[in-house]
Chains A and B, each alone.
Chain A
Amino acid sequence: MKIMVAVKLVPDLVENLEIAPGGTGLDRTYLRLILSEPDEHALEQALLLKDESTDITVVAPGFEEADDVLFTAAAKGADRLVKLTDGFQEGCNCHALARALRGITSEIQPDLILTGVQAHDDLDGSLGPLLAGLLNLPYVGNVAGLSITEGKATARKEYSGGLIGEMEIGLPAVIGIVAAEAPPRYVAVSKVRQMVKSATLEPYPVGDLDPGGGIELDRMYKPESVERATMIEGTAEEIAVRLIEVLKELDVL
C-alpha cells in the first residue's frame, strides 16, 4: 500500500506574531515555521498503518524549515521524502499547495493520502478537502481512528458532543486526521541527525504557484483586547473572598 502524507508548515504560536509593514500579512522575519500539529498526527497514523508492504512518502512545501520536518519524519519511519521547490518563500495558501501537490501525487499514485484535518493558519479552507476536490477523490475529515482492509478504509469521524460516525471509504481517498490512534511518537535527536547524513530529500519543482480560490486580504491585524476582564488582584485570600462575593452578588451560590 502506498501512503502519501501531505504536510503544512505553519507559524509557531509560541512566538509573538507581528504584522508585516504592508498590513496584509504576517511579518516573516522572526517567524518560525513548524509542522502543523494535526499533520504530525497524520504522519503518526500513517506510521501506525505501516507494515512490510507499505511505503510512506512525506511531502512538504519547500520552506527552510521543511528539511528538519522531513528528516524527522524519516527518523520516525517514513520511506521517501519529497520537498516541493520554488516559489514558497512568501508563503502559499492551501489552494496553491493543493495544486502544487498534483504532480507528485500522480507520480506516486498513492492508495491513501493523509493530512491534518486543518491548520491554524488556514484562511482559504483546509488542504485535505481541496486536494480531494482537485484530484476527484473521496474525502472524510476529522478522523480519529483509521484502519485499512482490502482496498477500503474504515474511519471514525468525530462530531461535536463526542458522537462518532464510522465511515467506510473506497480507496484511493484523502483523509483528514484530527488525532492519531496513539500520540505522535518521540524520535531521538541522534536518529534525526543520522537521517540528515543518510537520507535524501528529493526536490520536486512545481513551477509557479496558483493561489486562485483564496481571497486577497485588505487587512490583517491583531485583535485589541477591547473587552477585557476586570482583573482581581491581591493575596490568594483576598482574591478568593472577592470571587465568592461576586458569585453571591449574582445570586449564584
Chain B
Amino acid sequence: MILSYESLKSIGVLLALSIAGWVFSVRIYRLLWISLKQGQPSGPFRQWGLRLRSLLAYVGGQRRLFRFLIPGTAHFFIFWGFLILFPTILQAILEGLLAAFRPGFELPILGRLGPYALLQDLFILSVIVAVLNGLFLRIVKDPERYKGSHRRQAVLVLFYILAIMSSLLVMNGVRINTLADPLQRWRPISRLVGSLFAALDGRSQRTLAEVAYWIHLIVVLFFLTELPSGKHFHVVTSIPAVLLRDLKPLGQLPPSPEFDGQAGVGSIEQLRWRQMLDFYTCTECGRCQDVCPAYASGAVLSPKMLIMSLRQAVSRLADGHQAPGSDNGRHAAPAEALLGDVVSEDVLWSCTTCLACDQECPLFIGHVDPIVDMRRRLVMEGRMDSKLQDALNNLGRYGNSFGQSERGRAKWSLPLETGIKDARREAVDYLWFVGDYASYNSGLQEVTRKTARVFQAAGLDFGILYESERNAGNDVRRVGEEGLFELCVEQNTDAIAECSFNAVVTTDPHSYNTLKNEYPVLAGKSHRVFHVAELLDQWITSGRLTPKTKLGYRVTYHDPCYLGRYNGVYDSPRRVIEAIGCRLVEMGRHRDRALCCGAGGGRIWMEEAKVAERPSEARVREAAGLDGVELLVVTCPKDLTMFQDAVKTTGFEDRIQIKDLAELVYEALF
C-alpha cells in the first residue's frame, strides 16, 4: 500500500511534534525544575494586584523597552506579533496532524475572523520590518551594548523568525491564489506575496505551499527546542519573572543568607531560585551594560556578562555539576568556584551599586542583589584590597572611614557663630544626621557650615549627635560587611534612643537611604527621614525661606543615585534650583539615567582600578559639554568631592564649577 502524501504529512507532523515536544520538555524540566530546585527558597509573593498591573505594563506594554525608541518599537511588534500570530502555529500543527483525515482544516472562530486576519497580516509585515531592523543592528551597526552577547545565536534566531514569517506569507499567498481564501481581502500583504507566484500553474503553487509549510513547521519546532538554550528562554520565563518580581523598596537590601556559619553566597545553589529565574530571563540586550558607570570607565564589570556567567553556572546545576562545598557532589570533576572562576573578585568589587542596571532592565533582573550577596562571602573570607580593609577597620573602630577620632566628628561646627544643639541632651524638632564626609572631609566642611546657617535662617529647630554619630552603614552593607552594618545600626539606634525629635534630616543620600529604608527593618522603629533638598523645597514653596537674590546662573543638576534612582526624589532639588533663580539645563543622562559619580558601593574606599576614564570625569565632561552652563549642582557630599577632583584632573576648572545645592541656597539667602 502506498501512503498518500496526506498520510505521510500527518505522520511527519506527529513525529516532528513529538520529537520537538519531547526535547523541549526535557530541557524545560532540567533547567526550570532540576536546577531551580537546588536554589534557595524565595517569596512569599504578595500584592497580586500590583503584580498583574506590572505584567500588563511591562510585558504587555513593553514599557521599559521604549527607553530606546526604535529597538523598543521593533520588539513591541515582535512580541505582539508572536502572540497574535500564535494561532497560525496552532493552525499549522493541527492542519498537519489532521491532513490525512480532514484536509483544509481551519481554526474555528479565529480562522474565520476577517479583522483578525488583517491584524495578522499587518503584524507579519511589522515583524519582518522589525527583524530586518534587528539584523541591521546586529550585523551592521553592532552597538557597544551587544559586546559580549552571543551574536551568532541572535542573528540565527532573527533568520528563523524571518523564515517563519516568509513561509507564512507564501502559504497564505498561494492559498489566496489557488483556493480562493474567503478572507483574502483581509490579507493585503499575503495577497501581494501571492501575486508573485500567480503566474505559476496550480500544481507548482501547491508544491510551493507545501514546501513553505514544512519550512514553517520545522523552523517553528526547531526554534521551540532551542528556546531554553539561550537568550530566547526569556520567551518562556519573562512572564513569571515579571509577575514574581521583587517588590521590596529599592533601597532595602535583603538580609544576608547564611550557610554553615558563613554569611553570603559562595556557590551557585546558595542563590535563591527566584534569582536563578532572573538569569534565565536575560535577553543579552545590553541595556544594563550601556548604563553601567563601571563598564563605561573601562573596568571589568559588565552587568550583562555577569548575569550571563551566572546563567551558565545555574544551567550546569542541571547537568549534575556541583559547586564545591555542596553535599551531593556526584560528579568527580571539580567544579569551578563561583567566586573567582565563574565571577572574578574584580568584577564583584567594581560595582558602585548605582542601580542603573536594575532600573534599565526591561525584565526587572536584579543585578545588585547577587553582587552584594557574593561580596558578603568575600568579606567573610577576607578577600579584599588593603585599602578597603583599612576603611572597614576604621569604620569599626572609629565609626568613620577616615580613621579619625570620633571626638573630632563635630569639629566642623566650631567656627559657627551660633552653636548647634546637642540632640542627645535637648529635645529638637529635627535631628540632623550629618554623615562622615560632610563632617570630616576638610574640603566639605565649609559646605556643612553653610547648610547649618541655612537651617538657622529657616528657623529650624535642629540638633546633631556630636561624637555619638557613627557612619549610617549604607555603603558598609553594600560592601558586604553585614556584621559591621548591624553594629552601625545598633550604635546609631542607641544614640538616637535617648533623643527626642520629630524627624530626621540629612544632606547625605546614602545615609538617607539606609535610615529611611533599612533602619526600620533592623531597629524596629520608624522615623520620618528627609533629605535636605526635600526640606528646602518645602520651605521655599511655603514661603518659610525666601531667597533674597535671584542667582541667575545657568546650571545643570546631577541626580545622586541614592536620592534619585533609589528613592525617587527628582523634583524637589529642581524646584529649589528654579526658585533661587537659576536656569536649569538637563544633561542627556538625567533623572533615572544619571551617571553615577563612581564613589558608591564602597568604591570610594577601594584602590582605584586602572580605568580609561573615571565615571566622575565622564560626568564632568558631560556637564561641561552643555552650552553656557557654568555650574554643576550636586546634593551629595561624595558627589561634591568626586566632581571637584574630576574637574581638576580633566582640566575643566575654568570651564565649570561644582556647587552644592545648600551652598547655592545659602548664596541666595545672604
Contact = CB atoms under 8 A, between A and B. Distances in A.
A16 B411 CA distance: 14
B382 A190 contact: no
A30 B393 CA distance: 20
Contacts of B398: 14
B382 A189 contact: no
Contact of B382 (A15, A30, A185): A185
A50 to B, nearest CB: 15
A243 interface: no
A191 B261 CA distance: 9
Given A14-B405, A15-B405, A34-B397, A188 B483 contact: yes
B481 A189 contact: yes
Contacts of B324: none
Contacts of B405: 14-16
Contacts of A188: 263, 379-380, 382, 481, 483-484
A172 B188 CA distance: 97
B483 A189 contact: yes
B392 A193 contact: no
B397 A186 contact: no
Contact of A187 (B261, B382, B397, B487): B382
B384 A189 contact: no
B379 A186 contact: yes
B541 interface: no
A186 B407 CA distance: 25
Nearest to B483: A190
Contacts of B261: 194
B389 interface: yes
Contacts of B263: 188, 190
B397 A191 contact: no
B482 A190 contact: yes
A67 to B, nearest CB: 14
A104 B425 CA distance: 47
A48 to B, nearest CB: 13
Interface in A163-207: 183, 185-194
Contact of A193 (B386, B404, B483): B483
A189 B487 contact: yes
Contacts of B21: none
* Chain A, interface residues (CB within 8 Å), range: 10 to 19
A35 B308 CA distance: 45
Contacts of A187: 382
Interface residues of B, number: 23
Contacts of B114: none
B581 interface: no
Contacts of B407: 15, 30
A185 B388 CA distance: 12
Contacts of B393: 186
A189 B396 contact: yes
Contacts of B389: 183, 186
B403 interface: yes
Nearest to B384: A186
Interface in A65-92: none
A155 to B, nearest CB: 25
Contacts of B382: 185-188
A233 B483 CA distance: 45
A236 B484 CA distance: 40
A187 B382 CA distance: 6
Nearest to B393: A186
A193 B380 CA distance: 13
Contacts of A16: 405
Nearest to A72: B396
A14 B403 contact: yes
Interface string B448-476: 00000000000000000000000000000
A237 to B, nearest CB: 13
Contacts of A192: 483
Contacts of B403: 14
A17 B382 CA distance: 32
A14 B483 contact: no
Q: Which of A14, A16, A189 has the most CB of B within 10 A?
A: A189
Contacts of B386: 183
A193 B382 CA distance: 16
Interface of A: 14-16, 30, 34, 183, 185-194
11 contacts: A15-B405, A15-B407, A16-B405, A183-B389, A186-B389, A186-B393, A187-B382, A188-B481, A190-B380, A190-B482, A193-B483
Given A183-B389, A188-B484, A190-B486, 19 more contacts: A14-B405, A15-B405, A15-B407, A30-B407, A183-B386, A186-B382, A186-B389, A186-B392, A187-B382, A188-B382, A188-B481, A189-B481, A189-B483, A189-B487, A190-B263, A190-B380, A190-B483, A191-B380, A192-B483
